[in-house]
Structure 1
Amino acid sequence: MPFPLDLRTELQIGGEWTEVTADVSTREPISISVGRTAQGSRTDPGSCSLTLNNRAGKYSPRNPRSPYYGLIGRNTPIRVSLYTGDSYLELDGDMESNASTPDAAVLDVTDLDVRFEASMDWNASGDHQTIIGRWEVDTLQQCWVLRVGDGWMRLSWSTDGTDAGIWSAAGQLPQLPRRVAIRVTLDVDNGTGGSTTNFYWAPTLDGPWEEMATSASITTGTTSIHPGTAPLKVAPSYVLTDGVSFRRPLTGEVHRAELRDGIDGAIIASPDFRDQDPGATSFVDSTGLTWTLTGTATITNRKDRFRGEVSSWPTRWDLSGTDVWVPIQAAGVLRRYGQGVKPLDSTLRRRIPTGDPIAYWPMEEGSDADRAYSPIEGIRPLTVTGLDWAADSSLVGSSALPKLEQAATIAAPIPLHEYGDGWHIEMVYFLEAMPGTLQNFFRIELRGSRAGYIQILVGSASVRIEIYDTDNTLISGFTAVNADAMADFVGKWNRFSVSTAISGGDTYIQVLWRDIIQSKFWYARTNFIGEDPGQPSSISGSWGADFQGMTIGHLGVFNTGASFTTPATGGTEIYAGADDGFLNDFIDERMERLSAEEGLPLVVHGTVGGILPRMGSQRPNTLLDLIQEAADVDGGILSEDAGRPGLLYRTRESLYSQTPALSLDYQAKGEVAPPLEPIDDDQGIRNDVTVKRIGGSAGRAVLEDGPLSVQDPPDGVGRYDESLDLNLYLDTQPEPIAYWKMHLGTWDEARYPKISVNLRAAEHLIPDVLDLQLGDKLTISNPPDWLPPDTIEQLVQGYTETLDLYAWDIVFNCTPAGPWNVAEVEDETYGHVDAEDTVLASDITTTADTIHISAITDPAWTTDPTDLPVDIRVGGEVMTVTAAAAATGTPMVADGDASETAATDHIAPSVTAPESADLLICSWIPWDDLGPYTLPASMTAQGKTNGVWSTLEDATEQLTASGATGTRTATLPGADAWAAMSVIASGTPVIEEHLAAVEQTPTAVSLTTASTTEAGWWLLAIQAWDKNDIDQDGGPSGSGWTLLADSGIRSGAAPYQTAYAKRAVGGAETVTLPAGNADDNHARIYVLSGVTDLAAQALTVTRSVNGIVKEHAAGTSVRLAQPAIVAL
């Protein structure tokens, strides 16, 4: 897209889009803002500011000299668009809008191969976006049709043009970019007695084609495609044969399509919209077929950057009067829908009139009412006495309703109306308890029937129907006494209906009562001879003290009778769903129903075949608040639709683990304009989150540990709490949502609230910017050296752009994308569960390509080569693990020996050193001698303790080679029985502290390490005693000790034992070695750093993947670079 920019500004004047670009002042750029701020929770109305030249007075709405006089004013639609290059077919989902070519013999195929390239939301909610096909329901010319919805691509075809001959197959769509090509093939006879359908996708129609998962659909039995006479349509629409369900055409941009004569056959239809003239309504494709556009389908080469409304036209001029202008501040539809709007009525009040009632009284009046009005034209108010208005608001599908006082009546005449096939009367009620005696509950007067009136009586654990003729003679009656049915008549909100049904020459009167919340219902009915249900002429009720406190409302009359069925059904189900406020709606169902009822276009983007959250009841509120309430339950992004005057909701699920929509390089000219300023602050921190279900229970999530935990600094950041009230369906929903909100609020990463791009300097980015949607991922590679080296990943929450002929700057409002990179099964990047407590087992240099890790509380890391490679992060350096070995060794090895034969040479046994720089620790004790020993010359004495009967001496030696150490002999002046121990500490151990002590029977030895002891250091405990008939067990106190070796308990020899432990927490620690009944109880504690945990795993790694080159100390945390995050 070369500069100068081909900007176009249009106003909708007199119902037609009129270009006013020539009047747009160039002294100030056009400024457009869309979406929400980086940390905003709700989307602001979009805005567009520009200046119009008004020297001729054209844009003064009240100026009769203006050619637009009377045609412009408040909320005049405006749009600003840019030239995009290739043309495309723009479709807005209108049922009458498509591109088609008439039936032709060449379109009759045996096997099917159809290909389609478009930019659209492939995973939009609902199974109704039709793509392409030959499908005429009314004329029974159903050949084949392709559609997408809810994450699936579906092909339907008919063998004979009728519903009876329909076959279908489906393939699951992957997470697709906005612009892709799809393809479906149907082999009607696969040679094995069946048919095969395959589904594919590709970047463009040119391929390469990739078959979709769960794609191949193989059906038993061969099939065929009805040749038919239906035209071939791009974006067909149709109503199903039930007369109610429909399939809506796609919303988006179509680039081209192909139909082939069999799989990989010759092209027989090829509408290519890329080369067509903008505004063309007909063209001939490369095969000679003529295509015609209908409805709002448009061929264009422009992309809207803003659609909104101009609410005011302020005229301004200079003192000379030669410069006159109008500074326009247009706004998106959110502004108008959010201003001066009263709450929507209750769901029952909104729903019942759509069922074409003859009469209807909501009874939702205020507390001072004296009658109930009807919203149905020509229906008089309901005459009432004894009602306590607006006394009960407990029915979720209604506003407050009246309760009966001690004596109450209602009465209403029903005007004469067209007879139907019967009638149906319904209301809602709540009666606490059944009256003790049978009493009148409801009365209906009839006209045009043998029956004169019907009365319903309740009480004494029964419900009775009585039918009287016009002479006031009882002609039929029935009493229902089922105990369960009577129990369900009271104590809950019910719908109560009386309806007629015709069967066998008789008219049946049916009474139904249905539990609104549980949907459980009961019925009673009786009949009279003759098929003359007549029609209601009046309704009345008269209740005494036994009914005091009963709530009633939403009384409706309909001229539709019921079908005679068992169990009985009513004549209408218009109350269903609305009675409980559409409890259990999916959030997209709630949004789409509200938008349809109010005529506000809304598209739900991206369910990807998943199940969106369910909601609680819809209560009266403004339209935008109700839609936002649904968005809040899911946690996605509600915004204005830049392509049309409506709303777009992007689901939470569609934000997960995205492929970047806009990839920037910090080092590339213009791609990241200054300033790029990360912010490390507490603005978004939420580490204590409570989510409450409106009308239900709550769930809470608290981050107890970590740098952003609720602990006071420096262990955390302190408490940042938040409480949210959400309209959820179940009490099981709040807690997972609270944990997800806490996860988002404790993501430990710098924010980049503003990212600027200069598109004049980086024109190659313009196509990606034009296709970018709110919520898309934006990345910046090669950040400067003073920032972390990893690619910056952000989600676009909104943007502000300024455009003129020679400049286009856009500033994106962003939040971190990291917390949205959730776990995906078998995904190479996000398919691995992160470690929580894994550290380096030893120091590593800058070039070491094998590292040892110690999983302190984590399970062992996988060694399966199919799970590798995987990136890990160690001290800020990213490494790629290419191989992982199972642990084979231990951090320390030891052996002990003892002899009851007196000797002067006491021999510490040979042990095997795993590595060349290991530390050898030896110690010796006689049975009954205080020494001293002459120690081996190669060793360094560490300590000597004398008891009453014995001495213990220990020494160390830094080895120079791995393998067998050989024995080490200490010499005593006189001969005595003895015991000795040899210990190897692996790695490059440093003795940080050496503790020694001895106690006499029966006292334990306690030794306390220094407060400077660090996490990750090791403790080696050595204990020896000079008595052989004791039970000296249990080892050192505290957790985590592993017994190394024992010299054994022998007659006439001093026993030994050693143990080691790694400390996960630093600081002082008191270690107690048990007493038993030893005469002398000797103890040593070595505090060692630099020990290599050979029980750890060896990982083969590629170093410095992110450019960081550094050494790392033992104990450094080891985590996945892209950990799997459990999605909500």
Structure 2
Amino acid sequence: MAFPETPLDLRAELQLGGGERVDITSRVYTRDPIRIISGMSAEGTQVDPSTCVLTLNNGDGALSPRNPLGPWFGRLGRNTRLQISVPSTDAYLDLDGDLASMAATPDHASLDITGDLDLRVELATDWNEQGRNQVLVSKWDAGGQRSYALRLLDRMLSLGWTTDGTTVLAATAALPPLPERAAVRVTLDVDNGASGRVARFYTAPSLDGPWTVFAEFTQAGATSIFAGTAPLRIGGVDSTTVPPRVPVRGRVYRVQVRAGIDGAVVADVDARGLAPGVTGWTDGAGRPWTLSGTASVRQRDFLFTGEISSLPSRWSPSGQDVWVPMEAAGILRRLGQGRKPIDSTLRRRIPTDPNLIAYWPMEDGPASTTAASPLPGVAPMAVTGLEFAAVDSLGGSGPLPQVRAPASIRAAVPRSPEYGWHVELVYFLPVMPAAQTEIIRVDVVNSPSIRQVIVYASTAGVRIEARNEDAEVIAGFTYTEPQALADFAGVWNRLAIYSGPGSAGFRLFARWRNIIQDTFWIISAIVPSSTLQGAVTGVSGAWGTAVADMTVGHLAVFDQGASEDSITSPPGSTIFAGADDGFAGESALNRLNRLTAEEPTVPIAWYDGDTSRLSEQMGSQRPAVLTALVADCAEVDGGILSERPDRIGLWYRDRASMENQTPTLVLDYAAGHVAPPLEPVEDDQRIRNDVTVERIGGSSARVVIEEGPLGAQPPEQGGVGIYDESISLNLAADDRPQQHASWRAHLGTWDAPRFPSVRVLLHQQPQLIPDVLRLRIGDKIRIVGLPLYAGAAGEPVDLLVQQITHIPLPRTWEVTLVCTPAGPWTVGVEGTARADTAGSQLAVGVSATATALSVTTTTGPRWMTSAARAGDFPFDIRAGGEVMTVTGITGTSSTQTFTVTRAVNGISKTHTAGTDVRLAHPAIVAL
């Protein structure tokens, strides 16, 4: 018998130090029910750390961290991981991405497919995960035994195969937006009859279909597939690729391999019917499978995954009752405890270059007398005449020093055995010096020709010069292009000086790049009679009044020069690129992805609801704590950042993913799906009709919604008065504040009640459990069957979930949802959306049953006629709270006749002349 007739198989588990999992379910007291809360409160604007509180029996002292006789002594304490789970509908193959974790079946003649191929996989995973070459299913081994492999790589689905076991052929397609659980399929027609091969890519809700083609590629030449001896694997590895192939991370439900397109099934894994814990089975095609590594068959859904934040010991005076009121929280709590800002993007990025041998960020504090190096073995830079922390206008840097002439720098560079070098720094020179003035000097050894390379600048030109040990000039070049000289000063630049090969010696380069405009100039000089480029041993600068107020920083030295003999040769390192302006213009999703790569202990999965639209582009990433940087992305893009229930990590859904959603959960009020009390609230908590948005470091825009029931007009004129808001956003461009202010004003003037509490008793409605378990913060739910007095106007009520509370017990399971209206997130789709009328009303009153309306347009263009635009009919209008379907319109003057079907929303009533007539569902322009 199923829940609630049998107790809910609720499970609480700890993951102790060393990775051991311990089931503590038997210790959970029901006198204090488990309470799990995730999302944001009704009054909140940002997601709070998820929390879980439960009371545990500690009669044996096992949960006392400092009890030396406890079985978990030394492995239990703060931030020990806690998971709460319940049975899921389907079993699944659980893969964690570990190199050794996979399922495999030995090679078999039926799997040695040489002709057409059809691979299908149904799984739940992070489809947008970057930087991991994840194998879904493969028959693929190094050493000449590669046959075929289906894998995920950076939001792409890729089919690889070989004809000889070694030489890889491939077809790859960008994935469309997919829900967490979905099915993918790739077919390969090895010979299309026209001297070619065709790969088709499909998605579906499940392996049962229906399948939708999202990409198709025809490649020249018929092909075949090598019949290798490798086993067939779900997951798999190949360390010879870059990045190396690793097993997929997620839940695999079904896998099919077919010989031929829609052909015979030669491997048929259906984990849904497997018993949890099995380590081997025979699939539907007769293939025997075994698990390896940490791969396992499970049938659990997770309500919470977090870290213990409080573990106090409590006992009664008699000592008969000893317990622990445990509290755990999601990763946002721990991240929020930190106060150390993440370093600037340049400071973080430059040390990752493998050819870096010396680096001085020069972001030192105002009282500094030297510039420190973060690299071991590199001495501080000696300086005079610099005012540290004087300028903070470069997006990719913290505050940098400014020259107070006279000034100097001198830095010793560790000797490198490599030949070829590259020195780079950022600078801001207010004006070009009138006379030739030294900007930077590089000391070189192990070159028979030169000892120093100097870059000069003046209004007459930018010059690079090489000198020998006697300080004699042996090579040089002066660039006098007016635009190049204009770009050298008055703007943030990067200056790179580097060596490279040359046919008559070796080349020296000076290259300056406008950080803001991303334009560059390059000059070169040939050092004759030598190909030995040498190595850098020092960098220095001596500056007088001609360069007073120049700002410098992020001086880096690399032991790799240019690789080409060309005047336009790029330097050996491009590590400054992008980081110099703090990745200004980077999309919110790309910034989240980059932050995840830089901070791998804080994994962030994300869902892009519309891959044809970029997420919002952002301004520079300035030094800040990690939580602030991540929240900044969500604030700018307008999406929601929350915590994962299944593992430690964050989950971000972009703004587009919340638009035009299909409801994840449908609740029928009349059928008792919603437990009392259901109390919609008509208040002013979220009203914002006067919104100002400022771009940080840029312009601002203000939008005021004057008209409408929540407009800024005073109540006597039909509005609610002014509710203003001002917000600063890290936007990339000055044209964006206007759009953001309009969108926020739109959200703030949506006239609908909010539902701060929607309660569902799953022990009374167990059929809703699968859909409730799929709910995530930001998902849409729909309530149908509401009475008119509940404010539903006879229509379904669509809501967005912003908080989920679970209170599970053995015999009961209560879920409470905090919700806001979903209506403003229904936006127009190009080619199908209709713009609303600017103003129209009934010319004469009508009865409750009339099917012909006389409508006058009072403002703007009249309504379209059915004779001219038959394909745009029918559509719905709203008048006096009644929704009607318009099947035809006649008349070419401002007063027209509408033929309608009445009471579409269950309301039918008389309407007086002058009643406002509008589209029932007008197009809303998305941000």
Band the TM-score falls in, shorter-chain normalisation: over 0.9
| Amino acid in structure 1 at the alignment position of 2:595 | L
Which secondary structure state, in structure 1, belongs to the residue aligned with residue 87 of structure 2? Answer: strand
Matches within 5 A, 1:399-548: 399-417=398-416, 419-450=417-448, 451-459=450-458, 461-504=460-503, 506-526=505-525, 527-548=527-548
Asked if 1:702 corresponds to 2:704, the answer is yes
CA shift, 1:446, in A, is: 2.5
Length-normalised TM-score, structure 1: 0.77
Q: Deviations over 1:249-282 (max 9, x none)?
A: 6554221011111112110111222233334444
Instruction: Give the Cα–Cα distance (whole angstroms) in 2 for the partners of residues 135 and 1127 of structure 1.
Output: 45
Q: What runs of 5+ residues in structure 1 fail to find an aligned partner?
A: 891-1092
Which secondary structure state, in structure 1, belongs to the residue aligned with residue 32 of structure 2? Answer: coil
Matches within 5 A, 1:1002-1017: none
Asked if 1:1124 corresponds to 2:923, the answer is yes
Identify which of 811, 816, 823 aligns with 2:821. 816
Q: Determine the structure 2 residue equivalent to 1:272.
A: 270
Q: Deviations over 1:178-234 (max 9, x none)?
A: 434333333333345554444444443233x2434x555555654444545555443
Matches within 5 A, 1:666-685: 666-669=669-672, 671-685=673-687
Instruction: Give the Cα–Cα distance (whole angstroms) in 2 for the partners of residues 141 and 566 of structure 1.
Output: 44
Asked if 1:76 corresponds to 2:95, the answer is no
Rg larger for: 1
Matches within 5 A, 1:827-866: 831-857=833-859, 858-863=861-866, 864-866=869-871
Distance 1:75 1:758, change over 3 A: same
Distance 1:133 1:846, change over 3 A: farther
CA shift, 1:703, in A, is: 0.7
- Counterpart contact for 2:400–2:551, Cα < 8 Å: yes
Q: Deviations over 1:1016-1056 (max 9, x none)?
A: xxxxxxxxxxxxxxxxxxxxxxxxxxxxxxxxxxxxxxxxx
Asked if 1:619 corresponds to 2:622, the answer is yes
| Amino acid in structure 1 at the alignment position of 2:9 | D
CA shift, 1:384, in A, is: 0.9
CA shift, 1:465, in A, is: 2.9
Q: What runs of 5+ residues in structure 2 fail to find an aligned partner?
A: none
Instruction: Give the Cα–Cα distance (whole angstroms) in 1 for the partners of residues 267 and 730 of structure 2.
Output: 50
Q: Determine the structure 2 residue equivalent to 1:372.
A: 371
- Counterpart contact for 1:348–1:397, Cα < 8 Å: yes
Instruction: Give the Cα–Cα distance (whole angstroms) in 2 for the partners of residues 309 and 85 of structure 1.
Output: 26
Instruction: Give the Cα–Cα distance (whole angstroms) in 2 for the partners of residues 183 and 776 of structure 1.
Output: 26
- Counterpart contact for 2:781–2:801, Cα < 8 Å: yes
Which secondary structure state, in structure 2, belongs to the residue aligned with residue 588 of structure 1? Answer: helix
Identify which of 588, 608, 611 aligns with 1:606. 608
Distance 1:1100 1:648, change over 3 A: same
CA shift, 1:155, in A, is: 4.6
Distance 1:216 1:817, change over 3 A: same
Instruction: Give the Cα–Cα distance (whole angstroms) in 1 for the partners of residues 20 and 479 of structure 2.
Output: 65
- Counterpart contact for 1:314–1:328, Cα < 8 Å: yes
- Counterpart contact for 2:454–2:464, Cα < 8 Å: yes
Identify which of 738, 757, 762 aligns with 2:760. 757
- Counterpart contact for 1:425–1:499, Cα < 8 Å: yes
Distance 1:318 1:508, change over 3 A: same
CA shift, 1:19, in A, is: 1.2
Length-normalised TM-score, structure 2: 0.93
Instruction: Give the Cα–Cα distance (whole angstroms) in 2 for the partners of residues 1106 and 713 of structure 1.
Output: 29
Q: Determine the structure 2 residue equivalent to 1:166.
A: 169
Asked if 1:38 corresponds to 2:42, the answer is yes
Instruction: Give the Cα–Cα distance (whole angstroms) in 2 for the partners of residues 476 and 77 of structure 1.
Output: 64
Instruction: Give the Cα–Cα distance (whole angstroms) in 2 for the partners of residues 840 and 217 of structure 1.
Output: 55
Mean Cα deviation higher: 1112-1121 or 122-131 = 122-131
CA shift, 1:247, in A, is: 7.2
Instruction: Give the Cα–Cα distance (whole angstroms) in 1 for the partners of residues 827 and 286 of structure 2.
Output: 49
- Counterpart contact for 2:144–2:164, Cα < 8 Å: no
CA shift, 1:436, in A, is: 2.6
Q: Determine the structure 2 residue equivalent to 1:114.
A: 119
Instruction: Give the Cα–Cα distance (whole angstroms) in 1 for the partners of residues 235 and 692 of structure 2.
Output: 46
Which secondary structure state, in structure 2, belongs to the residue aligned with residue 274 of structure 1? Answer: helix
Q: Deviations over 1:127-182 (max 9, x none)?
A: 976644456688693635354866x755555556667x635264874x65543433
**Backbone CA RMSD of aligned residues:** 2.7
Q: Determine the structure 1 residue equivalent to 2:71.
A: 67
CA shift, 1:505, in A, is: 6.7
- Counterpart contact for 1:688–1:742, Cα < 8 Å: yes
Distance 1:98 1:725, change over 3 A: farther
| Amino acid in structure 1 at the alignment position of 2:64 | S
Distance 1:691 1:410, change over 3 A: same
Q: Determine the structure 2 residue equivalent to 1:332.
A: 330
Matches within 5 A, 1:257-268: 257-268=255-266
Q: Determine the structure 1 residue equivalent to 2:183.
A: 181
CA shift, 1:842, in A, is: 3.1
Which secondary structure state, in structure 1, belongs to the residue aligned with residue 305 of structure 2? Answer: strand
CA shift, 1:389, in A, is: 1.1
- Counterpart contact for 2:691–2:726, Cα < 8 Å: yes
Q: Determine the structure 2 residue equivalent to 1:18.
A: 22
Asked if 1:801 corresponds to 2:806, the answer is yes
Instruction: Give the Cα–Cα distance (whole angstroms) in 2 for the partners of residues 139 and 373 of structure 1.
Output: 51
CA shift, 1:364, in A, is: 0.6
Matches within 5 A, 1:96-115: 97-107=101-111, 108-115=113-120
| Amino acid in structure 1 at the alignment position of 2:26 | A
Matches within 5 A, 1:773-922: 773-787=776-790, 788=792, 789-825=794-830, 831-857=833-859, 858-863=861-866, 864-881=869-886, 883-887=887-891
| Amino acid in structure 2 at the alignment position of 1:593 | R
Asked if 1:1109 corresponds to 2:908, the answer is yes
Q: Deviations over 1:525-575 (max 9, x none)?
A: 222423322222222221122121111111111112211234121121111
| Amino acid in structure 1 at the alignment position of 2:576 | Y
Which secondary structure state, in structure 2, belongs to the residue aligned with residue 1096 of structure 1? Answer: strand
CA shift, 1:429, in A, is: 1.0
Instruction: Give the Cα–Cα distance (whole angstroms) in 1 for the partners of residues 99 and 492 of structure 2.
Output: 40
Which secondary structure state, in structure 2, belongs to the residue aligned with residue 708 of structure 1? Answer: coil
Asked if 1:592 corresponds to 2:391, the answer is no
| Amino acid in structure 1 at the alignment position of 2:610 | V
- Counterpart contact for 2:148–2:159, Cα < 8 Å: no
Q: Deviations over 1:480-511 (max 9, x none)?
A: 33333222221111111221212337332222
- Counterpart contact for 2:658–2:779, Cα < 8 Å: yes
Instruction: Give the Cα–Cα distance (whole angstroms) in 2 for the partners of residues 706 and 130 of structure 1.
Output: 54
- Counterpart contact for 1:123–1:608, Cα < 8 Å: no
CA shift, 1:16, in A, is: 1.7
Q: Determine the structure 2 residue equivalent to 1:940.
A: none
Q: Determine the structure 2 residue equivalent to 1:52.
A: 56
Which secondary structure state, in structure 2, belongs to the residue aligned with residue 856 of structure 1? Answer: strand
CA shift, 1:88, in A, is: 0.6
Q: Determine the structure 2 residue equivalent to 1:1096.
A: 896
| Amino acid in structure 2 at the alignment position of 1:26 | T
Distance 1:198 1:416, change over 3 A: closer
Instruction: Give the Cα–Cα distance (whole angstroms) in 2 for the partners of residues 125 and 717 of structure 1.
Output: 47
Q: Determine the structure 1 residue equivalent to 2:662.
A: 659
CA shift, 1:331, in A, is: 0.7
Distance 1:839 1:338, change over 3 A: same
CA shift, 1:114, in A, is: 2.1
- Give the paired residue count: 910
Q: Determine the structure 2 residue equivalent to 1:691.
A: 693
- Counterpart contact for 2:171–2:217, Cα < 8 Å: no
Which secondary structure state, in structure 2, belongs to the residue aligned with residue 335 of structure 1? Answer: helix
